[in-house]
Amino acid sequence: MKKNLLICFSFALLFFTACGRKDCCVTPKNDKPFLTAEKSGVQWEVSPATATYSQDTINVYGSNYKTNPEEVFGFLLKVNAEGTYNLDGKQAYYYNTVGQDVSVSGYKLDDTFANTVKVTTYDKTAGIIAGTFQIKFIKTYDNPTGSYPDKIAFLNGKFKVALHK
């Protein structure tokens, strides 16, 4: 009888303590900043990614120094709430560098495409901005001439970054 009671007590103890922590079965949130897209059809990520704001404009950007040549990508938004924002003029940029300081290519927005950023999270108090983007660029220069693609598309893009002043 004592043996059966001990077995039942052991199973009860195991049952009540196995998932006793409230977070044991919860998937942790990914709070790491990211900036990803399909760059001309290939999965692409830039790291580190961040955002700064000055006056009324937020600059979401990242640099990829793991590639050769290096990449710098970003877009500028005048955000005051969640929603869809159209980009034009110089509100987005992409260029390549060598040695992190010599620019070897430059691109401007393709004004024949509806370049958009959809902000799905904008929490100024927590310092977080997140969303999606669709951006296409046209080459303005490269060195040596003809060594970089004439057009680059960043489609199905996603971002989540911390806001820094």
| 56-97 per-position pLDDT tens digit | 899 999 998 888 899 999 999 999 899 999 999 999 999 999
Residue 31 is predicted with a pLDDT of 66
How far is residue 165's CA from residue 163's CA, in Å, rounded to a whole number?
Answer: 7
Please state whether 4 falls in left (phi above 0), alpha (psi between -120 and 50) or beta.
alpha
Please give the share of the chain, as a percent, with pLDDT higher than 90.
Answer: 67
Contact 48, 33 (CB under 8 A): yes
Q: pLDDT for 39-59, tens place per residue?
A: 999 999 987 789 998 888 999
Q: Which residues of 111-131 are buried (b: 16+ CB within 10 A; e: fewer)?
A: eebebebebeebeeeeebbbb
What's this model's pTM, rounded to 2 decimal places? Answer: 0.79
User: Is the CB of residue 130 less than 8 Å from the CB of residue 162?
Assistant: no
